[in-house]
Homo-oligomer: A and B are copies of this chain.
Amino acid sequence: MSTVVKFHKVVAVAGGFPVLAGLDIEIAKGEIVHLRGSNGAGKTSFMRVCAGLIPISDGDANVLGFDMRDDRRSPRRHIGLLGHDNHLYKDLWVQEHVEFRAAATGAEAGDAGAALRRVGLSDRLWSVPIERLSAGQRRRVAIASMLVGRPQLWLLDEPHAALDDEGRGLLDEILVEAASSGATVVFASHERDLSKSVATRVVTLRGGRLMEDSGAA
């Protein structure tokens, strides 16, 4: 099984604060990692470093085969990132937004509809401006926008927040499906149950370092 993320003693600094303080971790292809840790432990920071949004200032990091010290832009086209925020153009209609994201990653326009159906967004909402959606509906649009790009590495920051039971079920299915078709999934969440239901591995951070690791599946 090939390694998708490989961190060795990674230190990363944002705003003068060491958000990662010597993190060692390896994630293999096809894993579904549940990232845990108390508030401020560095979960979000870890994902942003993986996505190349925060540079590493010490240690070695390799993501999808790219050395993140040399080139942290190239892996991005293969990574999907869902942050605490939804990254949505609030002025656009739901469908337009997902179609734009689809086109931006070279997918076809038809994929957009499929993705929206996949996250269970009723088509009454497809031509509604995103601004008018409820929190959970927006989260679904964000997930659809990510889905449509078929990334190889999925980074999701509390994707379950704001989703209802049905949404959670669909999301879990989507994650499992992605992993089984060869993608790698890392998601952060404070809910314990998720460790059992979807994740193949639980990783706990503390103070910008690894604290506990249930080990690869």
A161: Cβ under 8 A from any B Cβ? yes
A42: min CB distance to chain B, Å: 8
Q: Is the CB of A37 within 8 A of B158?
A: no
Question: Could you tell me the dominant secondary structure of chain A's interface residues?
Answer: loop
Select one of B84, B161, B168 contacting A158, CB under 8 A.
B161
A190: Cβ under 8 A from any B Cβ? yes
Return chain B residues, CB-CB under 8 Å to A140: 39
Residues of A within 8 A of B (CB): 15, 17, 37-41, 44, 84, 132-137, 139-140, 157-158, 160-168, 190-192
Give me 12 A-to-B residue pairs in the complex whose CB atoms sit less than 8 angstroms apart, sorted by A's number: A15-B132, A38-B136, A38-B165, A39-B134, A39-B137, A39-B163, A39-B167, A84-B162, A158-B161, A158-B162, A163-B190, A168-B190
